[in-house]
Structure 1
């Protein structure tokens, strides 16, 4: 019986294993990046809610009126970057907003408009993440 030629089998086996390995590795990195972004957005929304409570809600609670705050509670990029520095990676800028109509509860929303996932396997479901915090009054 003649022995089969085994040259190139290691390279072939590596190709079979490398594709799922690298796909899994990049998917884990991508999901980790998304998780850090979501946590940073939650932190930014919480900081915005705290700023509203300090600047607007306290005076309204003392006067027993409805708080009237809208727009961006942290208007400068430096204040936002101090709270959530990871959101500024890649030249992106997060947005922080409060609805103009004073409703109960007040909702502060932080979003990252230019964020996209690296791996195409996710589609567009995880693009443009946002997080919100509500302030009951």
Structure 2
């Protein structure tokens, strides 16, 4: 005579075996997508800032008599409204990106960064926190 096996809890165990990897994968995909959209928005903001610097600093007088240093063009060229129009995703959740313009000997570097951004999944550590994107403009 065969003894009947006790199958209580089998469905719950199988559910957990599928649920944990499935939802982990789902959150990883969501987190990486959020990071990719943030990076693309930062690149867009850096490009918009570089365009504004070029419009305001590349005047006909400057092109005829170029200065030795582009230091006069290092302020933030965009207003908050212009930044929101260029990259609205960066302002979700009351976050505010920063746009900085730095000068070196013969180029300007426009850097857009999101210092408050953190990844949701702890598996990344801090490697992908505080993303930034830069654009260089020859001067």
**Counterpart contact for 1:69–1:102, Cα < 8 Å:** no
Cα 1:120–1:3 shift into 2, 3 Å:
same
Can you list the C-alpha shifts for 1:68-108, whole angstroms capped at 9, x where unaligned? 2012111x211100000000001000000112x45322110
- Which range moves more in the overlay, 63-72 or 44-53? 63-72
- Residue matched to 2:110: 108
Can you list the C-alpha shifts for 1:32-77, whole angstroms capped at 9, x where unaligned? 0000000000000000000011110234543331342012111x21
2:6 and 2:88 mapped to 1: Cα distance?
Answer: 56
- Which range moves more in the overlay, 12-21 or 43-52? 12-21
After TM superposition, the runs of 4+ consecutive aligned structure 1 residues lying more than 6 A away are none
Task: Compute the TM-score of the two structures, normalised by the length of structure 2.
Answer: 0.90
- Which range moves more in the overlay, 53-62 or 82-91? 53-62
Cα 1:9–1:63 shift into 2, 3 Å:
same
Alignment of 1:20-99 (within 5 A): 20-59=21-60, 61-66=62-67, 67=70, 68-74=72-78, 76-99=79-102
1:82 and 1:17 mapped to 2: Cα distance?
Answer: 42
- Which range moves more in the overlay, 88-97 or 57-66? 57-66
For structure 1, list consecutive stretches of 5 or more residues without a partner in the other structure.
none
- Which range moves more in the overlay, 12-21 or 87-96? 12-21
Task: Compute the TM-score of the two structures, normalised by the length of structure 1.
Answer: 0.92
Alpha-carbon RMSD? 1.4
- Number of aligned residue pairs: 135
SS at match of 2:112: strand
- Residue matched to 2:10: 9
1:56 and 1:13 mapped to 2: Cα distance?
Answer: 64
